Amino acid sequence: MTQRDPRYDILFEQVPIGPVTARNRFYQVPHCNGMGHVRPNTLAAMRGIKAEGGWAVVCTEEVEIHANSDNGLAAEGRLWDDGDIPALAKMAAAVHEHGALAGIELVHGGYSSANHYSRIPPIAPSVASVNSYDPVQARAMTKADIRDFRKWHRQAALRGKQAGFDLVYVYAGHNLTLLMHFLSRRFNQRTDEYGGSLENRVRLFREVLEETKEAVGDRCAVAVRFAVDELLGPKGITAENEGREVIEMLAELPDLWDVNISEWENDSATSRFEKEGYQEPYIGFVKSLTSKPVVGVGRYTSPDTMVSLIQRGVMDLIGAARPSIADPFLPKKIEEGRLDEIRECIGCNICVAGDWLAVPMRCTQNPTMGEEWRRGWHPEHIEPSRSDEGVLVVGGGPAGLECALALGQRGYRVMLAEASEELGGRVSRESRLPGLAEWGRVRDYRATLLEKQENVTLYRGSKLSAEDILEFSAKDQFGFSHVLLATGATWRRDGIAREHREPILGLDHMTVLTPDDLMDGVSASGNVVIFDDEHYYMGGVLAEKLRLDVHEVRLVTPAPDISNWTHHTMEQGRIQTRLLELGVELAPQHNLVSVHSGEVELACVFTDRRTRHVCDTLVLVTERLPNNTLYHQLQSNPEGLAQAGIKTLRCIGDCFAPGIIAAAVHSGHLAARELEAEAPGEVPFLRERVVVLNEI
């Protein structure tokens, strides 16, 4: 085994946290996951894998303390009463099995919870509309309500202790918690001892912290999560003023400070807008004000950066949510000197999208994320090959690279043939677009490991025909019995997508480009109109690229706003802001209905009111067609397949079903796992089921 670089020894020092001790400085901070109380087995397996991977502390997501704080459809944690203890105890036990500490983040959402499930009117420091477009208002808390909240929090802390947790959180962050609402001048207009001055607004925070320590502090560390800056300037809490003052007031009370910025879209900003370590300018002062351990986040994947943070006194523990999702074994890989095997987070926030959609989160880099329990997938271990037969993978994009890597790890003899000289497929091309450079890590991680595998051969610049494949497979020196096609997909240039099921009229009168054209270096001319009926990142990022190329750009979409699906990745606001600042003309809620020489015709999606606009180049961001011609050519020649000894012919990734990069990676990994596997049953994976008890 490779030895750890001594430079990183500091990362593996123990850190006392109140009555408990972390075995190293790697700390998985609380993060949501789309599992929660709805899927406790899935949750426990996922957290347990992280503990196995070397994280010294592994925390839950938000765990609601009472029905008065009901997060609706979100699959978060729940600790309303004793009946919720067993599900959480299962997670704590899974973490303890691998020698890590388990932390629980208790939360009351205040005005952030509309309470649709419980139907209990929400509570807040003062009367406030809920933090959504729901027609619900939170009522102002009485002194009795405040006493009740303190009681609920104490009871939840005791239940957390009973469930076996080692750290219990008092949570005031992300503008999603009742304690943060009391701290905020914007939401706390009280005139009693809980409002007005900062000292008064901190009162409830202090009381809950002291009472939690009194309740569980004999065995559990009490951690505080606090957003030191809301990025709102004078309107909100800032690191220069009230954020610093809160730390000073409570400096020695908790056993650990977990500090970040608010709101969630800032705390978990995508790599398109923020780079590694972007929170340090806001949280860097905290360690100077307290003797207690400090943990912070910043999408850290570089061990050199981690060491620097410790040595410079910025923090005591390296916090991570997304990097721990991309690689649950990141600490062990640093400890064992396997740095080139780290799956670095690309900051795309596909993991976050899983939570917003209330499904088990997925990860672009780590296809096993969310599959630990239901499919039995482990990020570092895979079933060995069932034969010595060879496998041909055609296409070196995200699906092909992942498939070849997983097959190589299984022990198969693999040949990967890529038509171009560059590996990565769409990942390489898209990573050259504005803000997406870190997406190239999807390619780099897999290409690096493939180069090391002696049983995998890479052929670049090798475009294979159906005849080539049959010929290679039939030759003794190749002898491939399994062919997996990862030949990608191509953007349509006829406009067919959600709004149009037939080609848009008049496209022959205009220069029409697709994202493929622009990524291949084809230049647009004059005034550009982009019609985005795909609604993820591509339309917005191409508008940015073309505007930076000094074109006049109009971005048209039938959706309510630009890059609408990126609400799930929490970057829609930043995307629309950037485009407006660049001077891109935005036309949401409009459809492209026809094209004419030198202009396009748009229609309001509600009134069908028509307008015409100058256009020299039309860019269509609509659907993609799978490049499956090779598959159909081979499939139509069963005699040739039999003569060549080909037992498996399968499309994977975008060639099978065009989707996001994470879906392509997952598809490639699934194909590698299923090769020569026993025939799957009718249910492809385990499901969490509700147990229905017959009434007695």
Assign 446 to helix, strand or coil: helix
* Marked catalytic residue, from 31, 66, 108, 174: 174
Tell me the residue type at 503.
P
Which residues have C-beta within 8 Å of that of residue 366, sequence separation ≥ 6? 325, 326, 327, 328, 343, 379
Long-range Cβ contacts of 41-44 (<8 Å, 24+ apart)? 41/90, 41/373, 41/686, 41/688, 42/360, 42/370, 42/372, 42/373, 42/374, 42/688, 43/87, 43/91, 44/90, 44/91, 44/93, 44/94, 44/373
Determine contact, residues 204/171, Cβ cutoff 8 Å: no
| Other CB atoms within 10 A of residue 391 CB | 26
What are the tokens at 194? 């809980």
Q: Which helix (H) or strand (E) holds 511?
A: strand 511-513
Assess whether 551 carries a catalytic annotation. Answer: no
Cα–chain center distance at 583: 30
Helix, strand, coil shares of the chain, percent, nearest 5, are 35, 20, 45
What are the tokens at 574? 């930043």
What are the tokens at 75? 């699959």
Determine contact, residues 275/232, Cβ cutoff 8 Å: no
| Other CB atoms within 10 A of residue 313 CB | 11
Q: Cis peptide before 62, with omega less than 30 degrees from 0?
A: no
Which residues have C-beta within 8 Å of that of residue 226, sequence separation ≥ 6? 172, 173, 243, 246, 247, 257, 258, 259, 260
What are the tokens at 5? 């670089």
CA distance 283 to 228: 7
| Other CB atoms within 10 A of residue 516 CB | 17
* Marked catalytic residue, from 27, 31, 32, 66: 32
* Marked catalytic residue, from 27, 111, 169, 171: 171
Assess whether 267 carries a catalytic annotation. Answer: yes
* Marked catalytic residue, from 267, 327, 532, 533: 267
CA distances (Å), 265 to each of 59, 276, 572, 602, in order? Answer: 20, 15, 10, 33
Q: How many residues does the chain have?
A: 696
**Phi and psi dihedrals of 459, rounded to 5?**
-120, 105
Q: Longest C-alpha distance within the chain, in Å? A: 86
CA distance 571 to 593: 29
Q: Please identify every residue annotated as catalytic.
A: 32, 171, 174, 267
